[in-house]
Amino acid sequence: MTDWTAICTGWIARRNRVFASPRFQHWAARLPLIRRIARSRADAAFDLLAGFAYSQVLRAWVEGGLFDILQDGPLPAATVAERMALSEEAALTLLRAGRALTLAEEAGPDRWMLGEQGAVFAANAGVQAMVRHHRLLYADLADPLALLRADRKEPTALSRFWTYAGALHGAGERGEDTSEYSELMAASQHIVADEVLASVGFRDVRRLLDVGGGHGAFLKAIGSAWPHLELGLFDLPEVAEKGGAVLAEAFGAARVTAHPGNFFSDPIPAGYDMVSLIRILHDHDDEPAQALLANIRASLVPGARLLIAEPMARIPGAEPMGEAFFGLYLWAMGSGRPRSPAEITAMLTKAGFTQARVVATAQPVNASVIIAQA
């Protein structure tokens, strides 16, 4: 152990002993100068305990249609109860829980309306689709130690969903209901595209290839904002065919090229001055993720760039989202992990990229961006 490590670990141990002391907690709660800090830490500790209950309140609002109901507000609890097929007491319990989370507020005695957060959720069907989807993760996390102790390749609720939806996604129209998959993809790609558009300029890009681009949601957003771009989509054959058709309908066939293939086993199409990976890298374990980066690098001429956009670990202000949420989400999915910008940069260097820079985004909880140059 180095001297610096010994100093650091010693300081952390002493700090933890102080914070854990009931005497210190009692003193801190009464000292005006640090009372606010002590209260903030106490609130954060309680949020760790109660977070699952908060998420289930939100789930009940989404699955019960309460956001839509309160669009007609202000409404009395009795009306809410009738529309949700709940008792009035149960409806009041849910409304009061929503009030505590700013999903609802009272505009007078027993007159309920959407709160600030409620208005945001009500206006975003895609985010509501993500809330519905997370019921699968919550089922897998009912016994988190059992999940972590099991072979990671054992099926989970989340991995079954992605296996089933992914198979249907690549099989074209077969009559099965893939609405949840489609809503989820549209919502996640739209959110990431907004972050990219707000932080990255494409004026000096002529041809953009989206690797693993699915049905073209990301390219559709970028192509609409930057009409000079020639757009390429690379994905499995059936997926690329459908995505290419969607983009051709939006922009015209002359502006779009669909490339069928597997990004692990087939060469990445050449001739593009920028390639994008949108919520792809973190879905894969280290070895295949490194191979993917090397495959992309082999397709790029010197000076061409790779844009990576996805939620990342250890981002200041968004730390819990990275390793606490996506760490367990990807574990339950059975593949991948969230990586820090430093880890991704090291992988890019190993793959042969000459430089990489992190681009600040307005909402890193949604996505962070790295641009690497060949």
Give burial (CB, 10 Å; 0-12/13-18/19+) of 217.
buried
CA separation for the pair 191, 48 (Å, rounded): 26
pLDDT above 50: residue 173: no
Residue 206 to residue 218: CA distance in whole angstroms:
16
Residue 314 burial (CB < 10 Å; 0-12/13-18/19+)? middle
Q: Which CATH code, of 3.90.420.10, 3.40.50.150, 3.90.870.10, 3.30.470.20, is assigned to 157-373?
A: 3.40.50.150
The predicted-structure confidence for 306-315, as pLDDT tens digits, reads as follows 999 999 999 9
3-state SS, residue 117: helix
Q: What is the pLDDT of residue 179?
A: 66
Q: Let me know how long the chain is.
A: 374
- CATH number for 19-123: choose from 1.10.340.30, 2.60.40.10, 1.10.238.10, 1.10.10.10: 1.10.10.10
What is the rounded distance in angstroms from the CA atom of residue 51 to the CA atom of residue 40?
A: 16
Which has the closest alpha carbon to 219: 261, 269, 173, 257?
257
Write down the pTM of the prediction.
0.86
Mean pLDDT in residue range 283-308: 98
**Residue 156, pLDDT score:** 96
Q: Where in the chain is the domain with CATH 3.40.50.150?
A: 157-373
Q: E strand or H helix at 257, and its extent?
A: strand 256-260
322: tokens are 């990275």
Mean pLDDT of the chain: 90
> What are the start and end residues of each CATH 1.10.10.10 domain in the chain?
19-123
Element (H, E) at 35: helix 32-63
What is the C-alpha to C-alpha distance for residues 338 and 328, in angstroms, rounded to an integer? Answer: 10
Cβ(212)–Cβ(263) under 8 Å?
Answer: yes
pLDDT at 8 > cutoff 50: yes
Q: Is 274 left (phi over 0), alpha (psi -120 to 50) or beta?
A: beta
pLDDT of 44 reads 81
